[in-house]
Structures are given as structure tokens and as C-alpha cells.
């Protein structure tokens, strides 16, 4: 990727030892730094990420998705990132989409870019999507592939305080007047669903509905 901006990828990881090394190596070919936040994994996620060349932040206690992303952004800011994007550790996202996600920020067209998946899993996602589409024009707020200009993070002052499944920085940024772009992305089958931060079940749908209620304010 050709850019005068420093681009840093943040990867939340919990028990992603099977895939994280490949994801890190693929990303390192197109970005300046890769930060993996190992959320107290029980497998070899840490060593796989380190051996692949990532900057690894380790949690001694499992903090969940939002805490993991928040710590990843703090580290990316310490590394001098101008553009920060989140990317899944499980092989679900395609590195070929990185330039398309980061591009609108590099070209000065947007400050926040959200990946838009071809399909979703939970019925609660569809309810949340209806709300964000009506209020913000966002079709898919819960995609884990999002990019931000560093100034968005600096202006908000934090990534997450309400357990928003990674949506709070986007919504707070839009309320502050930052510009938005939506980019369709490819979605690959996951290697292993057991490592998800939230599983595909009734409990996950309840969590998403709680997120919607927290972020409506």
C-alpha cells in the first residue's frame, strides 16, 4: 500500500492459534505495523503472533472484545499510527480488502470507514442494523473490519466504555461530525467458531440488543 500515513492493524485474538500467524504475515505485507491483543488465550496465540512479527499486547485476565480493541488502539497510538483498522484473527476477512477500507481515509474522503458484510448471522443484528440505518445510514455496524483516522480516536478519547461490540467509537465519531464511508467486503468461512468472542446463540442476540440500547443515547 502506498501512503505517507502510518497504517496499523489491530487484531483482537482469543484462542486463535490456528490462524493468527497467517493473518499477521498477510497483513504485514500491506501495512506498517500489526498489533495483536492476546486476550488471555489458552492456546499458542501469543507465540504464533510474535513469531509472525506482530507487536503483541497480552492480557493476564480475559477482558472481552471491547477491552481487547481498546488496548489495541492504545498501542497503535503509541506506535504513531495515522490510520488504525481492526481485522479479525480467524481468517474471516480478506487482506485484499485492506486497501479498499483504508483508501477513503488516505484520499481524504472519509475519517471512518466501515466494512459491510454480504450477510449477517444473528436476528438481533438485523434489528440493530435497522436502527443504525435509520439514524446514521449505516447498514452493518457490527462488522469487525473498520478503519479510523487517528484524529477520530484522539477526539473521542477512548474506544469503548459501554461494551458496544466495537461500535462506540464509530457512533461517537459520527456525532462529532467525522465523515463516514461504507465499503462492501468479502467474508470467508471461519476455521473454528469455538474461539468467537460471542457465540452464535440466544445469549449473543441478547448481548447485541443490550448494545443497541446502550448506544441509542
Helix 123-136 vs helix 168-175: crossing angle, to nearest 10: 10
Mean pLDDT by 10 residues, the chain (217 residues): 84 97 98 98 98 98 92 96 97 96 98 90 77 88 94 85 80 94 90 53 69 66
What's the pLDDT at 130? Answer: 86
* Residues 184, 187: Cα–Cα separation, whole Å: 10
Cα–Cα dist 192/91, whole Å: 10
Could you tell me whether strands 146-149 and 83-86 are parallel, antiparallel, or unpaired per DSSP bridges?
antiparallel
pLDDT at 164: 72
pLDDT of residue 179: 97
Concatenate the DSSP letters of all residues of 46-57 into one string: HHHHHHTT-EEE
pLDDT at 1: 58
List the one residue out of 93, 215, 207, 208 whose CA is nearest residue 146: 93
Domains of the chain and any CATH numbers: 7-216 (3.90.550.10)
φ, ψ at 13 (rounded to 5°): -145, 125
Beta strands at 112-116 and 146-149: parallel, antiparallel or unpaired: antiparallel
Structural contact between residues 114 and 170, judged by C-beta atoms closer than 8 angstroms: yes
Amino acid at each position: 500500500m502506498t501512503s505517507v500515513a502510518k497504517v496499523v492493524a489491530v487484531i483482537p485474538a482469543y484462542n486463535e492459534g490456528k490462524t493468527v500467524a497467517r493473518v499477521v504475515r498477510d497483513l504485514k505485507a500491506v501495512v506498517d505495523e500489526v498489533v495483536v491483543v492476546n486476550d488471555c488465550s489458552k492456546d499458542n496465540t501469543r507465540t504464533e503472533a510474535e513469531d509472525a512479527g506482530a507487536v503483541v499486547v497480552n492480557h493476564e485476565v480475559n477482558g472481552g472484545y471491547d477491552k481487547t480493541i481498546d488496548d489495541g488502539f492504545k498501542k497503535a497510538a503509541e506506535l504513531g499510527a495515522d490510520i488504525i483498522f481492526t481485522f479479525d484473527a480467524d481468517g474471516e476477512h480478506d487482506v485484499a480488502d485492506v486497501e479498499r477500507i483504508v483508501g477513503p481515509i488516505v484520499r481524504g474522503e472519509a475519517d471512518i470507514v466501515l466494512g459491510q458484510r454480504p450477510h449477517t448471522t444473528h436476528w438481533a443484528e438485523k434489528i440493530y442494523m435497522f436502527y443504525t440505518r435509520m439514524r446514521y445510514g449505516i447498514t452493518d455496524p457490527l462488522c469487525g473490519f473498520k478503519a479510523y483516522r487517528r484524529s477520530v480516536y484522539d477526539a473521542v478519547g477512548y474506544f469503548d466504555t459501554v461494551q458496544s461490540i466495537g461500535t462506540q467509537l464509530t457512533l461517537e465519531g459520527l456525532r462529532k461530525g467525522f465523515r463516514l464511508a461504507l465499503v462492501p467486503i468479502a467474508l470467508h468461512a471461519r476455521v473454528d467458531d469455538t474461539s468467537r468472542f460471542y457465540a452464535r446463540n440466544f445469549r449473543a442476540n441478547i448481548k447485541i440488543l443490550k448494545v443497541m440500547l446502550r448506544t441509542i443515547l
